[in-house]
Amino acid sequence: MTSSVPTIEIVALSQTFDLAQLFAPGEDQAVRVVRPEEVSNPERIEIALAWRPEGKAFDAYPNLKMVSSIAAGVDSILACPSLRQDTVVTRVRDHSQADLMAGFAAFQVIWHHRRMGDYIANQARHVWDRSFRPQAPGSVTVGVLGYGLMGRKCAMAIAAMGFRVVVARNSVSVVSEVVPDGVEVFAGPDAIHTVAAQADILVNILPLTDTTRDILDHDFFARMRKGAALVQMGRGEHMIEDDLLSALDSGHLSGASVDVFRQEPPEVDHPFWSHPKIMVTPHKASDTSPAEVLRQVLENFAALREGRLPPGLVNREAGY
């Protein structure tokens, strides 16, 4: 039976993914995600789904009302020169994704705290070494940069394992909120440094903005505690990759887990692949499902149409 609901055409704009394939609809879906060359009438396009769109990507759609990221980050959309000022930008806010993120962060904290990399190296050499004694979690401070949808769940999961957690956010919340037990919040422009200076393990889950680009650099690492470890799962452009190598090779930092890179995928001869103190994962700290992304796109667009604030609305001025 064919549906009487008209199909909404959403244009997919990405230089890196074939979003039309990724978001291929089921048979009875009222939404069609199409490549630019498949658009029947550019004037009828009101919604775009985007991830790293090319510079002129939005030019062809004079009636575009809303651009949705396929994920939490919107940096590549906001940086796109053809994005018009009056276009609403939304993101995905997926609590299940935040749960995945929290699990990944918790795993990485344990990886560094318990020196799991040493056991794996020992196993390869058939070495039974029980000499390492981990500190009690309560005397280990884990810093989390970012206290949004992702950072909050990460902080709670890490605090639940008994670690002391200090987090950095941008602004002091206007609504007083309960901070979970074991979590201390620092806010303001210097919060990231305050947190970095205390952390034995530092988890970065900030958005990429004009303020946060290149923050994980030589000076930043020098402010971190000697022997601290870094879990980098925000955006590749947060970090000067050579500066991480220097901090590890000098012995100032003890290890790093890197999920996001300046160029993805990194070149096959990128030094992180084979560095003994770095764990590389392929931007998979968390994930969301195409069905959930589309559900949220439609929810956001319905809100926009009805004059309500879309739940995934991005503050274009703040950049996240």
Ligand X SMILES: NC(=O)c1ccc[n+]([C@@H]2O[C@H](COP(=O)([O-])OP(=O)(O)OC[C@H]3O[C@@H](n4cnc5c(N)ncnc54)[C@H](OP(=O)(O)O)[C@@H]3O)[C@@H](O)[C@H]2O)c1
> Which residues bind to ligand X, rule: CB under 6 A?
71-73, 146-151, 168-171, 191-192, 205-209, 211-212, 233-235, 259-260, 283, 285-286, 320
User: Least distance to ligand X from the beta carbon of 11, Å?
Assistant: 23
Indicate the residue type of 306.
E
User: Least distance to ligand X from the beta carbon of 97, Å?
Assistant: 6
Nearer to ligand X, 146 or 255 (CB): 146
Nearer to ligand X, 61 or 75 (CB): 75
CB atoms closer than 10 angstroms to residue 215: 21
User: Least distance to ligand X from the beta carbon of 238, Å?
Assistant: 8
Nearer to ligand X, 113 or 153 (CB): 153
In the annotation, is 283 catalytic? yes
H helix runs in the chain, sequence order: 19-22, 75-78, 95-113, 116-124, 149-160, 191-198, 218-223, 241-249, 290-305
Provide φ and ψ at 228, rounded to 5°.
Answer: -75, 160
Dmax (CA) of the chain: 69
Q: Which one is catalytic: 112, 152, 225, 235?
A: 235
- C-alpha 99/C-alpha 226 separation (Å) is 30
- Secondary structure (3-state) at 107: helix
Nearer to ligand X, 129 or 264 (CB): 264
User: Least distance to ligand X from the beta carbon of 56, Å?
Assistant: 24
Nearer to ligand X, 11 or 105 (CB): 105
Nearer to ligand X, 256 or 285 (CB): 285
Tell me the CA distances in angstroms from 78 to 115, 179, 313, one per residue in order: 39, 31, 13
* Residue in the structure block whose two tokens are 């309500």: 308
- Secondary structure (3-state) at 109: helix
DSSP string covering 205-250? -PPP-TTTTT-BSHHHHHHSPTTEEEEE-S-GGGB-HHHHHHHHHT
- Measuring CA to CA, which residue among 22, 4, 26, 5 is closest to residue 14? 22
DSSP string covering 175-213? S--PPPTTEEEEESTTHHHHHHHH-SEEEE-PPP-TTTT
User: Least distance to ligand X from the beta carbon of 131, Å?
Assistant: 34
Q: Which one is catalytic: 262, 270, 283, 295?
A: 283
Indicate the residue type of 5.
V
User: Least distance to ligand X from the beta carbon of 235, Å?
Assistant: 4
CA dihedral 161, 162, 163, 169 (to 10 degrees): 80
Nearer to ligand X, 209 or 246 (CB): 209
User: Least distance to ligand X from the beta carbon of 313, Å?
Assistant: 11
Three-point CA angle 151, 153, 157, nearest 5°: 115
Residue positions annotated with a catalytic role: 235, 283
